[in-house]
Amino acid sequence: RKEVEQDPGPFNVPEGATVAFNCTYSNSASQSFFWYRQDCRKEPKLLMSVYSSGNEDGRFTAQLNRASQYISLLIRDSKLSDSATYLCVAYGGSQGNLIFGKGTKLSVKP
Amino acid sequence: EPEVTQTPSHQVTQMGQEVILRCVPISNHLYFYWYRQILGQKVEFLVSFYNNEISEKSEIFDDQFSVERPDGSNFTLKIRSTKLEDSAMYFCASSADNQPQHFGDGTRLSIL
């Protein structure tokens, strides 16, 4: 069974903190990975794709370790607006269906 | 920025009734998907659709479910005889070739 596992949290951090999310996946054949964010009762929104070489987008850095089947997301200088649930996502099949983790809830406090 | 749009935003239906959820994918996208999210649980894949046929479906997508692209813009999910456990948020998504999927804002389906 193809699964993506995440720490459910919640992570409660002060503004300006650095926070790290971790995720593991079970399907070694997965080729593509993403982080999405989901606000309460809203749709998942793509945050960033994850590449083996690691990639950075402003305050956000994503890393992929294929040997360990491990994905991470680092948020630096967290803002109140970063409060959301962060979803780790892997491609599950040849036709592009996504397998979602249950998400890690982040709450950034003033 | 182009968006995936879904209607209605909320659908309330009696158990056993048929329901059709509608989606307009992003116009130049060729791959279409339906996902659902039961309250408090993770997003689950239902079905993918390409070139006017189903590409892949999950075990959730049983004979009660069907999808259709009736014209050049709409993509629909039909549940033939709804059950209480079909209550969930249903998300449509679309993508271009080898590109990430973009999600609509969902239809909340409540079965009474």
Chain A residues close to B48, C-beta within 8 Å: 95-97
| pLDDT score, position A41 | 87
The pLDDT assigned to A93 comes to: 66
Q: How far is Cα B72 from Cα B93, in angstroms, rounded to an integer?
A: 16
pLDDT of B27-79, one tens digit each?
989 999 999 999 999 999 999 999 999 999 999 999 999 999 988 789 999 99
The torsion defined by the Cα of A93, A49, B94 and B28, in degrees rounded to 10, comes to -120
Tens place of pLDDT for every residue, chain A, 110 residues? Answer: 678 999 888 999 999 999 999 999 988 778 889 999 999 989 999 999 998 888 999 999 999 999 999 999 999 999 999 999 999 999 876 667 899 999 999 999 99
Would you call B18 exposed, middle or buried from its count of C-beta atoms within 10 A (0-12, 13-18, 19+)?
A: exposed
CB A50 within 8 A of CB A62: yes
Kindly list the residues of chain A whose beta carbon comes within 8 Å of any beta carbon in chain B.
34, 38, 41-46, 49, 87, 92-103
Amino acid at A18: T
Q: Supply the pLDDT for residue A8.
A: 83
A95–B55: do the CB atoms touch at under 8 Å? Answer: yes
Structure tokens at A13: 């951090």
Nearest CA in chain A to B91: A43
Residues present in chain A in total: 110
Could you tell me whether strands A98-100 and A11-14 are parallel, antiparallel, or unpaired per DSSP bridges? Answer: unpaired
> Residue A24: which of A95, A91, A78, A72 has the closest Cα?
A72
* pLDDT (0 to 100) of residue B71: 87
Cβ-based contacts of A95 with chain B (< 8 Å) = 31, 48, 50, 55-56
Rounded to 5°, angle at Cα B38 from A73 and B85: 160
CA distance A67 to A107: 31
Three-class DSSP category at A81:
helix
SS3 assignment, position B86: helix
Residues of A in contact with B109 (CB under 8 A): none
Which of B43, B57, B90, B105 to mutate against chain A (most A CBs within 10 Å)?
B43
- State the Cα–Cα distance between residues B67 and B77, nearest whole angstrom: 5
**Residue ranges with strand state E in B38-74:** 44-50, 53-57, 65-68
